[in-house]
Amino acid sequence: MADQIIEHPPITLDDLLANEARVEIVDGEMIEMTAGGMTNGIIGMNIGTPLRLYLRENPIGAVAQDNVTFLMFSPARRLKDSFVPDVCFIFNENVPPGWNPETPHPGVPDLAVEIVSPNDNPEVVIKKRQTYLAKGTREVWVIYPRAREVQQFMAQGVKIYNNMEDVIDTSGLFPNMPPLTLADIFDLPVWAIKSHEDEA
């Protein structure tokens, strides 16, 4: 006897906006977002702040943290994907004409930064990264706080940084930006560093 296929009703934009929990949609499945800790928040600031300073001198776009929903070009009546990166950047020329910035962005970020929490599903992290790139995101940075590693994915390949002196290659999006090192990204208070060491 063949397995019975259970059809789930499509998730609409109205469903997404009405949901009180913080959720993402990955391949048509609604997933409640894992609550991030202070460590992830600090790392997000450590990335977002130098980008913001760069953009003050080079107003080519906008950077934001943790509250921007991207619909990944999914139709409003049947959302296939809807992501909320921990840090995002979009070029000015990629802002949709007539878009209300108080609503979810219909497309993709040019840069998506995903800071992995201990309870995140690795398969979901991989699926999101693949979807970002397939839909047109130029770079995806996947940050692993416990391992103190950054993986930078682009259409042409991946760069992995795991030495505190490593400098992130920002030239593709932010030409002539001051160096951003792994030590800058993982610049954490002593109590946060000790917490990670205790969990190791």
| 160-195 residue pLDDT tens | 999 999 999 999 999 999 999 999 999 999 887 755
HEC string of 56-89 equals: HHCCCEEEEECCCCECCCCCCCCCCCEECCCEEE
The whole model's pTM is what? 0.91
The listed range with the strongest mean pLDDT (1-5, 105-109, 196-200) is 105-109
Report pLDDT digits (tens) over 111-152: 999 999 888 899 999 999 999 999 999 999 999 999 999 999
Q: CA separation (Å) from 177 to 54, 55, 168?
A: 6, 9, 10
Domains of the chain, earliest start first = 37-68+85-199 (3.90.1570.10)
Q: How many whole angstroms separate alpha carbon 29 and alpha carbon 50? A: 34
Q: Report the pLDDT value the prediction gives residue 3, as an integer from 0 to 100.
A: 40
State the pLDDT at residue 191.
83
